[in-house]
Amino acid sequence: MKNEIKREIKILFPNENIFEGKNFEVHQDREFPILGFFILVPKRKIKTIADFTKEESIEFIDTLVKIRKAMKIILKIKEVFFYQNEDTRHNFHVWIFPKYLWMKDFKMQATPAIPFLKHSLKYLSSKKDIKKVKTTAKKMHDYLSKQFL
């Protein structure tokens, strides 16, 4: 992607797989030496969570919960960030990023979307915008009520 930093990738952790299920695997991030920085990856090459099968959906959340519980029990990690974006050159994956005290100096936000949220409050809060959001929410509700409930 055009916003990615060009750098030489050095694989520090090529074999630190911590879990393998039928459809997913979890491994220590291969490049960055941060304890408990794990990557959850489907074995099937996909770009979006919307492409999961029903079986993958169930295993995905189950795996995420298992890994998070293990991080809490074994690594004593109290809080994590989950990052997933679809505008990457890589296939679908989720970063499970532990939150450490030493990270406070980096001004990590609970969500990288805070600038977008602030922008929406400042520029997308007209009556017309609010109505459009409500209409969109209703369309989604109606579709999901018919399809999945």
- How does strand 17-20 pair with strand 38-42? unpaired
In a domain, 45, yes or no: yes
94 plus 118 within the same structural domain: no
Q: What is the rounded end-to-end Cα distance, in angstroms, of the chain?
A: 38
Distance CA 94, CA 100 (A): 19
Whether the per-residue pLDDT at 43 is higher than 90: the answer is: yes
Whether the per-residue pLDDT at 112 is higher than 60: the answer is: yes
66 plus 129 within the same structural domain: no
* Strand partners of residue 19: 26
pLDDT value at residue 104 = 76
78 plus 97 within the same structural domain: yes
C-beta of residue 98 within 8 angstroms of C-beta of residue 34: yes
What is the model's pTM?
0.76
100 plus 119 within the same structural domain: no
Tell me which residue range forms the domain holding 130. Answer: 114-147
Tell me what the pLDDT averaged over the chain comes to.
83
pLDDT value at residue 10 = 77
Number of domains the chain is built from: 2
What would the pLDDT profile of 55-104 be if each residue is shown by its tens digit?
Answer: 999 999 999 999 999 999 999 999 998 988 887 778 999 999 888 888 77
56 plus 26 within the same structural domain: yes
Average pLDDT over residues 111-122: 72
92 plus 122 within the same structural domain: no
Whether the per-residue pLDDT at 51 is higher than 90: the answer is: yes
Q: For 101, phi and psi rounded to 5 degrees?
A: -60, -35
pLDDT value at residue 78 = 95
